[in-house]
């Protein structure tokens, strides 16, 4: 009940953020503009529409998660609304979870709205709804959930600007860390290789949630990868949230 109340108020607050609508506008513009790009490009028009559309949902979704998520906890501390909240019989973990779920709900609604526009445009070209597109969007959403947890983690001890930079760095590292696997393959056994392997294990691999290429080009997806990606996302999110709670529990609100 308490977590639901905080999630509800967070959703209400996020809904009022103009930046959310600005990003939604650009995402919608990107999805609609994919039609124009398709006309100008040589090749399969539907593939271009799918590619640009999914990329728009992913990019603008991540921006929403970072720009709103990084201010969530900070704003409560800065505006001192947290004094009234934490003076209630509330665990700090409940507060963090409520904030997280409120933003996840906001992103669910926004991703849903972007997906509707995207699927409508694809439907106008193919006259069918492809289930694989929905799967790709679901995994984009799972990535957004993880990025939200990261944004809240940084927001629990840093300013919105720094938190945004950290969260953006996390996102970029997450999409480039697969390169470490290539380095590991080429390295000779030894301490260096063990170090890089350790780094590869700690750093996030957000490519686990990227099924865009496979879905757009109709490539086969190995069985079991959906479940492992899902579990990876859930476990990583839980780990980041746990870390956020640990840091937040130790804080003094002066």
Partner 1 sequence: MADAIRIENLQKKFRIGFIPKPREILKGITFSVREGETFGYLGPNGAGKTTTIKCLLGLIHPDAGTIEILGRPHTQPRSREALGFLPENPYFYDYLTAREFLAFTADLFGIGRTEKGERIARLLKLVGLERAADLPLRKYSRGMLQRAGLAQALVNDPRLVVLDEPLGGMDPLGRKEIRDIIVRFKDEGKTVFFTSHILQDIEMICDRVAIIVGGRIVKEGGLRDLVSEKVLFTEVTVSGLPPQTFSGLGECVSAQGDRVLLKLYDEARVDEVVNLIHDRKGRLIALSPRTETLEDIFVDTVTRT
User: Which residues contact partner 1 (rule: CB under 8 A)?
Assistant: 1-2, 4-6, 8-9, 12-13, 16, 79-91, 250, 252-254
Q: How far is the CB of 247 from partner 1 (least distance, A)?
A: 13
CA-CA distance, 215 to 169, in Å (whole number)? 27
Give the nearer residue to partner 1 in terms of CB position, either 89 or 189: 89
Min CB(167)–partner 1 separation in Å: 24
Helix, strand, or coil (residue 99): helix
Would you say 53 and 114 are in contact if contact means Cβ atoms under 8 Å apart? no
Q: What's the start-to-end Cα distance of the chain, in Å?
A: 28
The least CB distance from residue 82 to partner 1, in Å, is 8
Which is nearer to partner 1, 94 or 143 (by Cβ)?
94
* Comparison of 2 and 193: residue with beta carbon closer to partner 1: 2
In whole angstroms, the minimum distance from the beta carbon of 10 to partner 1 comes to 10
CB of 251 to partner 1, least distance (A): 9
- Geometric angle at alpha carbon 144, from 111 and 146, rounded to 5°: 155
Q: How far apart are CA 2 and CA 202, in angstroms?
A: 33
Q: Where would I find the H helices in 41-189? A: 45-78, 81-86, 92-126, 131-155, 160-176, 178-186
Whose Cβ is closer to partner 1: residue 103's or residue 117's?
Answer: 103
Residue 224 vs 253, nearer CB to partner 1? 253
């Amino acid at each position: 009940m308490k977590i639901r109340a905080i999630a509800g108020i967070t959703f209400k607050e996020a809904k009022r953020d103009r930046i959310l609508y600005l990003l939604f506008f650009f995402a919608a513009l990107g999805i609609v503009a994919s039609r124009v790009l398709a006309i100008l490009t040589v090749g399969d028009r539907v593939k271009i529409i799918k590619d640009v559309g999914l990329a728009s949902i992913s990019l603008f979704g991540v921006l929403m998660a970072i720009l709103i998520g990084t201010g969530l906890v900070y704003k409560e501390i800065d505006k001192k609304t947290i004094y009234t909240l934490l003076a209630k019989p509330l665990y700090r973990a409940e507060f963090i979870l409520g904030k997280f779920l409120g933003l996840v709900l906001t992103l669910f609604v926004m991703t849903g709205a972007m997906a509707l526009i995207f699927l409508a445009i694809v439907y106008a070209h193919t006259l069918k709804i492809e289930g694989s597109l929905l799967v790709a969007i679901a995994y984009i959403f799972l990535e957004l959930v993880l990025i939200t947890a990261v944004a809240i983690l940084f927001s629990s001890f840093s300013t919105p600007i720094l938190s945004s930079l950290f969260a953006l760095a996390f996102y970029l590292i997450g999409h480039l860390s697969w390169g470490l696997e290539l380095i590991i393959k080429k390295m000779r056994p030894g301490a260096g290789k063990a170090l890089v392997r350790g780094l590869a294990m700690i750093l996030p691999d957000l490519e686990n949630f990227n099924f865009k290429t496979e879905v757009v080009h109709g490539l086969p997806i190995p069985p079991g990868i959906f479940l492992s990606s899902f579990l990876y996302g859930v476990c990583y999110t839980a780990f980041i949230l746990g870390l956020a709670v640990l840091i937040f529990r130790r804080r003094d609100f002066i």
